[in-house]
Amino acid sequence: MKFIDCTNYQIHFNDWKAFEGALLNMNPSTCFIIVDENTEKFCLHILLEHVDITCQIIKIPSGEQNKTLETCQFVWTKLMQKSADRHSVVINLGGGVIGDLGGFCAATYMRGIRFIQVPTTLLSQVDASIGGKLGVDLMGFKNMVGVIKDPSYVFIFTSFLKTLDTDQIRSGYAELLKHGLIADKKAWSILSKVGDVTTLDFDQLVYDSVLIKKGVTEKDPNEKGLRKILNFGHTIGHAVESYWMDSKSPLLHGEAIAIGMVSESYLSYRIGNITETELFDIRNTITRIYGHNPKYLKPKEELIALMRSDKKNYNGAIKFALLENVGHACYDVEVDNDVIEDSFLFYKERI
């Protein structure tokens, strides 16, 4: 079975024997599994078939709107009530919300207990579970409270992707596209030509995408430089996702990042980094997969205000990760507000 060695942990792929052995070797005093209503229904029974110790279940509600300190307090309280100690282990069984929040709760409970990431969505398998970023949203701003702490292990089982609907697969696919654009031109060329993303065999695609993220995060674990390229599409995308989160038509993370990647590709073009042909190829690919949703890039003033609260900024200046060319990226790029507004207009143009 495939696995990837990281500096402080291993990432295993489709290997239940390795999961069983890892949990046995950890010898936890108590074991906790954090789920939501979806992973409780579709994934928990599969996991429990491979666990030989008694585990206590902590269930939280699904959705980005529940990725809050209030939910953390609920989890911390449950851990206390169920006698979790410093020798306990938390298994986070779910998508990015459970991985981020459950990991954050484990990393801060009693100043840190061990945890295992078992990501069940495409998005969390290729992105959220890798690199140790943990945290929650605050006052509608994405990931404003958190830590960087590596898990003990990551176990990726692509069979869990069969439990997802089409929208969730498409959402996660945005991160595969991003990894190609910022770090692997050949991967972008292959991924951009795919027709129906739901028919793909993700075993190799997930492995290759995880290798890209692992390579970037290990060179810069604390996001002082290179790791910032992983934020391509996310400065505008996070603002869009946050603004519409409590509306009647919220966007999934990948859908918002898709909009962000088109707009930030335009910024890359405006500073002379990519060609017009490359720009339109990116826009046409992304809108073919995700549709054209111009309403989400308004109101522009509020979106730019949200962007100013992005964690990557310095002294009020909006800092972008942009394409240096297709397959490479740069970071800490400042762009004038009028150019940002032009990028909105570029996305919103009739296709």
Domains of the chain in start order, with CATH, are 3-163 (3.40.50.1970), 221-348 (1.20.1090.10)
C-alpha to C-alpha distance for 63 and 252, rounded to whole angstroms? 9
Question: What pLDDT score was predicted for residue 140?
Answer: 86
Whose CA is closest to 335, among 310, 349, 175? 310
Question: What pLDDT score was predicted for residue 236?
Answer: 98
Q: What is the reported pTM? A: 0.95
Question: What pLDDT score was predicted for residue 258?
Answer: 98
Question: What pLDDT score was predicted for residue 172?
Answer: 98
Question: What pLDDT score was predicted for residue 309?
Answer: 84
Q: Where are the alpha helices (DSSP H) in 36-184?
A: 37-42, 44-48, 69-81, 96-108, 122-123, 166-183
Mean pLDDT of residues grouped by 10 in the chain (351 residues)?
93 98 97 98 98 96 96 98 98 98 98 98 97 95 95 98 96 98 97 92 97 97 96 97 93 97 98 98 97 95 91 84 98 95 94 67
C-alpha to C-alpha distance for 72 and 78, rounded to whole angstroms? 10
Q: Where are the alpha helices (DSSP H) in 4-88?
A: 16-26, 37-42, 44-48, 69-81
Assess contact for 148 and 123: CB atoms under 8 A.
no
Question: What pLDDT score was predicted for residue 351?
Answer: 67
Question: What pLDDT score was predicted for residue 203?
Answer: 97
